[in-house]
Amino acid sequence: MNATIPPADEPTPCVLAEHLLQSLYGGAGKFGLDVLQDIEHKVADSLSFVRCSINNFRPIHRLPTEVLGIVFRYALPTPDGGFQESGCHDPDIKIERRARAALTHVCRRWRAVALDMAALWTVIDASAGPSVLPYFERSGNMPLHVFARYPLDNTTETPLASQGSRIRDLFLEFPREHSRSIVPTELSAFLPHSPNLECLAIATRCRTFEDGRPIVDLAQRPQLFPCPPPRLTMLILQNQSWFPAVPYDRLTHLHISQGTPIDIRSLLTLLGHCTALEKAVFVDVYIANARQVPEDFRVELPRLKLLALAINFSRLSMRYLLRGLVLPPTVVVRITGSEAVRALAGLQPFPALPFAAGFDTLIVDHRSGCWNVQAAGPTSGLLLGCGTSTVTYMTAEVLASLIPFANIKRLVVRSDRAVVTFGVLSVMPSLSSLCIIDHDRPDPLRADDDVQPWHVGAALRKTMARFPDLSELEVWSKRSPIDCANDIPNELVDLRRLTIHHMHLEEDVAHSPIEMESVRNRFPTATVQLVEAKEGPNVDLPGIRPAHHANDW
């Protein structure tokens, strides 16, 4: 007979448990401390086993291991199990470790499944000392995402040295006390050879543009590894006073933010070696000696798909990168920041931008004093975003330099001050389609001449001469259709098509057929559509505005 199956005449576990309970009650006061502690341990083990067996019948425990693994991965800060490979988001190693530890404290099955999933343990805090060793073991042969803090000590050298071939992402952090030190040339003796490294991020933790730090000297680029990582394609540098020696000709992604001053000629020369570069992001980079470079000193980036410039300080001279880079006709350029327009206005003479020659669609979003401009053609695009400190005349000058207004065929304007918005736009002789989104319901208490009686109608009356070929007008407004129609200039009566989208609220009274007929009597081609107030049209061009952070890839 199998030993795991008790004979028919043996008592069941329930009977044994009842006998044990009766024996304990009957022998109360007769057992010594050692016996009672021994009984306590056995009862605790039995209770743990019973509870685990009960949990196995619960619906959550009937999920296959593969499905439970998917649940685990979505419980992590990053579902892919690694770092967010972007200069916009630094890895929070404490949250990463805490999220993984939480999965192992739910129940035995979750703990067993989690510990057996190698992909959950690939984020390594190499500065955590001996406690990181289990992560190396549990991760098996999976690629590693390593966070290391300078200086590296003996507790981190050994595991890193033995796992160098598994490191795919490396985030190297320098604390503030090392921000003014010389270039760390000794790192190659600590960091292992990493032949499969794809992403390298280096960040120095100190105040932005802190005094006393050395300027960037690209002639002194320290070797971080015994051998250059042959598969490195992504480099992120944050607040650096030195650049590493890596194979720049293989980089496809480059993110540089803040840091100490860097000579523009040296930077352009370095970028000239990045022949495979597809996406480049520069955030508040301090460009030095920008005016000393000849205007014909230019560098080509033939494969570049995205150039992002975030300018929050107008004196950084980042605008000169537009003059020093020759961009392909298929590039998307994003220029954002509170001082973006002010900085661009100082670029004189403004360089010719061949990639913008094909722009035929323009979207201008001007609300609460903030400007967001998108322009696109068949192969290229532009995003210009700036804050409330922008001066209107500067905006007009910059747009005239960036946008080929003569080629624009479709214009979308969303504004709460349409007179100001239309005032920065130049003549568009090819414009055939205009869409206006009236952002706010008119306020009768406001006496501003630019707003009363209807800022959209006033804007059209002042600027319609700039659009001689206009044939289609689309209006989205919370005003009644008859009010919109009455405020549209008489010169636009012969439009081929007029569409009024009334973004009505719940308290709005339904419009009578007589009112609708009045609209059509004034504009025979008019069409009125009722839409929910929250249903505004999509004003984002595909591939222009980033999905998450403005400085993301």
pLDDT tens-digit profile of 468-486?
999 999 999 888 888 888 8
* pLDDT, position 365: 93
pLDDT tens-digit map of 230-273: 999 999 999 999 999 999 999 999 999 999 999 999 999 999 99
* pLDDT, position 92: 85
102 assigned to some structural domain: no
43 assigned to some structural domain: no
Beta-carbon contacts of 352 under 8 Å, excluding residues fewer than 6 positions away, are none
pLDDT tens-digit map of 44-54: 888 888 887 88
Q: Compute the average pLDDT of residues 261-288.
A: 95
pLDDT tens-digit map of 361-413: 999 999 888 899 999 999 999 999 987 666 788 889 999 999 999 999 999 99
> What is the count of structural domains for the chain?
1
* pLDDT, position 33: 83
438 assigned to some structural domain: yes
Can you give the pTM of this predicted structure?
0.84
* pLDDT, position 311: 93
Q: Which helix (H) or strand (E) segment is 375 a member of?
A: strand 370-376
pLDDT tens-digit map of 69-78: 888 888 888 8
Q: Compute the average pLDDT of residues 503-523.
A: 71
Q: Which helix (H) or strand (E) segment is 422 a member of?
A: helix 418-423
Helix, strand, coil shares of the chain, percent, nearest 5, are 35, 20, 45
471 assigned to some structural domain: yes
pLDDT of 2 over the 50 cut: no
| CA 275 – CA 250 distance, rounded (Å) | 7
**Structural domain range at position 423:** 409-537
| CA 280 – CA 309 distance, rounded (Å) | 9
Backbone conformation region of residue 472, classed left if phi is above 0, alpha if psi is from -120 to 50, else beta: beta
* pLDDT, position 155: 46
254 assigned to some structural domain: no
pLDDT tens-digit map of 410-465: 999 999 888 889 999 999 999 999 999 987 655 554 544 444 446 888 889 888 89
Structure tokens at 551: 């400085």
* pLDDT, position 178: 62
529 assigned to some structural domain: yes
Backbone conformation region of residue 193, classed left if phi is above 0, alpha if psi is from -120 to 50, else beta: beta
425 assigned to some structural domain: yes
